[in-house]
Structure formats: C-alpha cells, structure tokens
Amino acid sequence: MILDGKAQDLETTPTDDPPSYEAAAGSSSTPVPPLDAKRPLPIATSPLGGSSVASSSKSPAASTSWFGFSSSTTRQVRATVLGLVRDLVKLDPSDHSVVAISILKSCADACATNGLSISTILQEKSVSGHTPLYWAIVKRPPESPEPQENMDLLTTLLSLSTPLKPETLSDVRLACLLTSDQALFQRLRNSPEFAPLSPTDEMLLDATMPPDDITVENIDGMEGAFVVDFAILRFQKRMLVSKAVVLEFIARSRMWRLSFNISTPENRRPGLPSPGTWYVSLSLLENSPPTWIDSRLLVPAPPESAMEPPSGSGFANGFFGSGKSRPRPTLSIRLKASDQLQVSRRGPSHRSRIVVNMDSGDGGDGGLGSLQYAGCPYIGPDETLRGRLEARLSKPEAECIIC
C-alpha cells in the first residue's frame, strides 16, 4: 500500500496491510445457501444475513477484521476497498463464496466508520473502464437450471450499490446485452431498484403480485428467428390509467422494447396515431446493432374462452348452424420494418421504431382492437393478457411465416 507522505506524519501508520484474498479464503468455511434462480434479485435488501450493514458496522471487531487498522485516512480506506473489489471481480466465478461476501461486508463497515459511501465507491468505473457490477455479470457462467452460489457476489454488489445511478444502470444493461443473458436481465428488471414501476402501476399492482412474465426462445434452424411469450398483469387497467405497458427483453444479441400504448395529446409526435388510439410499438434499445425485422404479434384466447358461444337464431344461424360453437380465432397484428431498424439518437422516427394501430389486423381477424373493450374474451379472468411475438431478423416478405 502506498501512503501519502503527509498522511503518514499526521496519522498512525497501520502495522499490517489488509489480508490478501488468499489469506482470507483460508479462514472461512461457512457454506453459502443456494439462491432461487427464478426469484427476482433482492437488490433493495441486503443479502448479508440477518443483520444490515449499518448494524454490523457498530462492532469494532467486524469493521477491522479485514483491514487490520482502525485509524486509517479516508484515502487509505477508499484505495483499499477499490483494490479488494477489483480482486474479487477478477476471480473465477467458481471461487465466489462466503469469503467474497465477508470481504464486501467488511468494506461496507470500514466505509461507514470513515464517512465514505460504499454505494458511491462500488459505482465508480474503477475496473478497466467499467463498474464492478459490469464485470460480475460479464464473467458469470451461462444460466443453469440449478441454483448457483456464484450469484452471491453479484447480489451482494447490487445490494451495497443502491441506489443505482443512471450510468450504473446503463453499464449493467450493457453487460446483460453483451452476454445475451435474458434470464438475468429479466430478474434484474423485476427488482424495483433496477426498473421501478411507474407511480400509477405501483398503485395498480399489488406488492404480492408476481411481475410481468417474459420468456425468449431462439428458433433453431431459422437464422435470426426468435419467439417471445409474455403475460401482462391487469392489462386493461394499466392501459387505461397509465396509458402504456412496456416490455423489455434481449433476443438475438439485441435489446428490444415492445410496448402497448394509448396516444395522448401530451405524447403526440410525428408518426403516432391520433389521441385516444391504442397502438403497439416495437423498437431497439441502446447499444443494439441495426437490423431488419419481420414479426407478428399473436394473442390467443384463454382456454376457458377458447370456444365462441353457440350461434343464435336468424341471420347467424343460417351461416353457422343452430347451437354450434366454433373455435375463437387468434388475434394477430403484423410488425414489420420498412427499413433497417436502428437505435434513435435524434428522437423517434420510422427507422427507430415500428408503430401499428391495434385496430389494424390481417387475415380478417380484426387485429388487436378488441383488447380495449371491457369483457374482452381474450383477457383472462385474472385480468392477465397472454401473447406471443414471433420474429425473424430479415427483410419482410409478402407473408410473415416465422414458426
């Protein structure tokens, strides 16, 4: 450790440097409980056991266990914390254990004791031009069906870094995009600290309700093809009150935004429909390369209303027969790019997003317009809308056939 000469004169020089990671690792044997890979990452709460960072900092033994001194200058503490965190994210993910959590906890204790913000330090781009969070994501192995202990380092870093700055959020999103880690991206988006709900959605959605569900599947044998299945909670209420429902996901090395919207006078822009119109928008998000896309948005009827009721008498009876029911058709709407889709840097344009009125249908099914009406049979009894986006990264053809 290099100390400032004046600081050495004014402060008591510590007799021992902080233990190395190897030395720390040898002193720990407590196992780490596995995490549930399907639950949102607990960003807003500390995963460091039952006690918080603030309470643990009250113990002198805890705050000095890794640093070996109690009268360090803030410069010394900051440099030590940065060095330890840098060493942790350099480790192979398989080496992450309770030791890493203990080191980060001690870093937080030391910062609190010396009037430093551990959140600010962890959000500095101190490791090769990026935050430690970025490298913790980039170095993660592919998602496994089994719970992974190596998630502990990322979870702890996120917990200690809150509240996250916009620059940090961008760094984390970039890391998810570079690794095409859709599963992690959705877990992060399900955490309020990473993707907070709008004030109206926060009022409409019960705190105990699960988040909107999004799953992405790349289609084998079809270059650039993918499928997105989604479930949107309380769809109609959120549309009528919030005027928008936004889904974000990663597919084919790009970050996408699929949104359902109601045009308002306040958000009226060139290319948008007249106020009061329900429409769908598909666009690329930051750091995504340009691409052609041809896609179709599908909304099947829920199982409990998959069949239309028997036809009545008179005119309808002559066409369909008396007392017969028929399958309810799947609603669909086509989303295709007239030019290569690209990230907008000068505001929305026809090249930055696809906008289609929900009343615009193909195949005679009437589009998605019926979703705006009360009692719509395509919305489940639990007020959930379930749909699918089938897409292919290619120039649109006369017929859109994805799967």
Report the chain (403 residues): mean pLDDT per 10 consecutive residues.
42 41 49 45 43 38 46 83 94 75 92 94 96 94 54 84 94 97 92 80 78 93 92 95 95 97 87 92 96 96 81 50 76 93 75 89 68 94 96 83 52
**Residue that is written with structure tokens 């890391």 in the block:** 175
- DSSP reduced 3-state for 77: helix
Q: Where are the beta strands (DSSP E) in 74-207?
A: none
Q: With the C-alpha atoms ordered 80, 85, 88, 89, is the resulting torsion angle positive or negative?
A: negative
Which of 23, 116, 126 lies closest to 68, judged by CA?
A: 23
Cα distances from 286 to residues 24, 156, 173, 283, in angstroms, run 40, 26, 9, 10
Asked if 355 contacts 271 with a C-beta cutoff of 8 angstroms, the reply is: yes
Residue type, 79: A
Domain coordinates in residue numbering, the chain: 5-185, 197-392
249 vs 116: CA distance, rounded Å: 36
Beta strands per DSSP E along 90-212: none
Q: What is the pLDDT of residue 196?
A: 77
How far is the C-alpha of 138 from the C-alpha of 179, rounded, in Å?
6
Q: What is the dihedral of CA 150, 154, 160, 164, to 10 degrees?
A: -170
User: How far is residue 56 from each of residues 51, 71, 98, 107, 218, measured CA to CA in Å?
Assistant: 6, 18, 16, 11, 46
At 397 the pLDDT is 80
Q: How far apart are CA 51 and CA 55, in angstroms?
A: 6
